[in-house]
Chains A and B, each alone.
Chain A
Amino acid sequence: SQQGEEDPQALSIQEGENATMNCSYKTSINNLQWYRQNSGRGLVHLILIRSNEREKHSGRLRVTLDTSKKSSSLLITASRAADTASYFCATAGTGANNLFFGTGTRLTVIP
């Protein structure tokens, strides 16, 4: 299976704290993407990092990629209650048309 794994499975923090989620994958990738899913809804794309990039920022999001360790991390700074959701990493293999999703991290931000 090309599915990645994320940890922690669940994370609960206080509003204002930072949240870090990790993703590990198995195969060579073209890029790695992070998505957010509110309960019972579809996924929304957050950020994409290419295999030749090591770090990327977008607003309160910071993503790192270590291709030697086949891992990535998503940092959400200054969390808000509205950040409560599940977060998934997804990998696109070289030449692959589809994405394979990780197991997800359920983030709860307590007001």
Chain B
Amino acid sequence: GAVVSQHPSWVICKSGTSVKIECRSLDFQATTMFWYRQFPKQSLMLMATSNEGSKATYEQGVEKDKFLINHASLTLSTLTVTSAHPEDSSFYICSARDPTGDNEKLFFGSGTQLSVL
């Protein structure tokens, strides 16, 4: 099946710094990628839909200036958590659909555990 690679797997940063998370589709082109956030023992909450070559679509309540999304190519989307604070500590997961295969299921990256000190 399609593979989505996400890096880094975990990151620890100081409060006030910015962190970039990369999401790559390795064997397919993804015009759309999805970014989720997950707190411990909770469900995935969709943060934004990343669209190649255009602006991301953010879900209600998600600050677009706080969580910058760039989808500059058909295989790479990045999420930058700007001026991170402890409350931003969470598990961030990206996903994408493979348009050449079953276009209804999502392929997920392995996630990024962000800890802000």
Contact of B108 with A44 in the complex, beta carbons under 8 Å: yes
Q: How many residues belonging to A are interface residues under a CB distance threshold of 8 Å?
A: 23
Contact of A102 with B43 in the complex, beta carbons under 8 Å: yes
User: A-side binding surface: helix, strand, loop or mixed?
Assistant: strand
User: B-side binding surface: helix, strand, loop or mixed?
Assistant: strand
A33 contacts across to B, CB distance below 8 A: 104-106
Q: Which residue of A lies closest to B97 (CB)?
A: A97
Interchain pairs with CB closer than 8 A, number: 56
Confirm or deny: B91 has a beta carbon within 8 angstroms of a beta carbon on chain A.
yes
B32, B44, B107: the one within 8 Å of A97 (CB): B32
Interface centre among A41, A42, A103, A106 (most CB of B within 10 A): A42
Confirm or deny: A45 has a beta carbon within 8 angstroms of a beta carbon on chain B.
yes
Contact of B44 with A41 in the complex, beta carbons under 8 Å: no
With A40-B111, A97-B49 as contacts: A45 and B106 at CB distance below 8 Å: yes
Contact of B43 with A42 in the complex, beta carbons under 8 Å: no
With A31-B104, A92-B104, A97-B32 as contacts: A42 and B42 at CB distance below 8 Å: no
Nearest 6 A/B pairs, CB to CB? A42-B108, A45-B105, A43-B108, A101-B44, A42-B110, A101-B43
A residues contacting B by CB (< 8 A) are 3, 31, 33, 35, 40-45, 48, 88, 90, 92, 97-104, 106
B residues contacting A by CB (< 8 A) are 4, 6, 32, 34, 36, 41-46, 49, 91, 93, 95, 102, 104-111, 113
